[in-house]
Structure 1
Amino acid sequence: MLGHSDKENIARYLKNDKRKIFQLRTALTEIEEELEGALQQKSDKEQSNKLAEVTAENETKEVQSNGDLNLSADELMRIYTTHPDLFKKLVLANNAAS
């Protein structure tokens, strides 16, 4: 504005647009939180998949080398609920070895 210093102009604009600035700040914070959550979920999912693959490989190797299941009922139920395909392979491998 004419006749006013830059500091006074900035203060006036901030005062007039305080609500809009707050809305923008809030929206940016929500976007940041969503992005962080999505990245964390992606990271957790990738780690879970890698762990499942390693676990499946190790358990399959154990069954193939021993020919019998050395797993407790709880472990079998956990495998059945989390990895049904692996459970089927384990049962088939165990039946074939018996």
Structure 2
Amino acid sequence: MTAPSANCSATHWDFDVTEQVAADDYGPVSFDYTYHVGESFNDVPASYMFYAYFETLLHSGVTAGCTASTYCPNNNVTRAQMVKFLANAWQFEL
């Protein structure tokens, strides 16, 4: 298991698990899982309709929110922020 990302708050944990299964006549097979525990942003509860999308954006490295603990889902997105989102999503270096 690996420690949570340094930019995540204490109530937000991600950890990676690799499971190896072996059976007679077959070599070991690895399965990799990433588990997420806790809400990443104080202003986006798990009951929020777009919660899963915000979590996906965070874990994909597209955005980290407004601060380490808030996403600010009701704020307008500037052109500069949108360029940064797209560059991160397409893995361009700015």
Q: Give the TM bin, normalised by the shorter chain.
A: under 0.3
Q: TM-score, normalised by structure 2?
A: 0.18
Report the structure, 1 or 2, having the larger helix content: 1
Report the structure, 1 or 2, having the larger strand content: 2
Larger Rg belongs to: 1
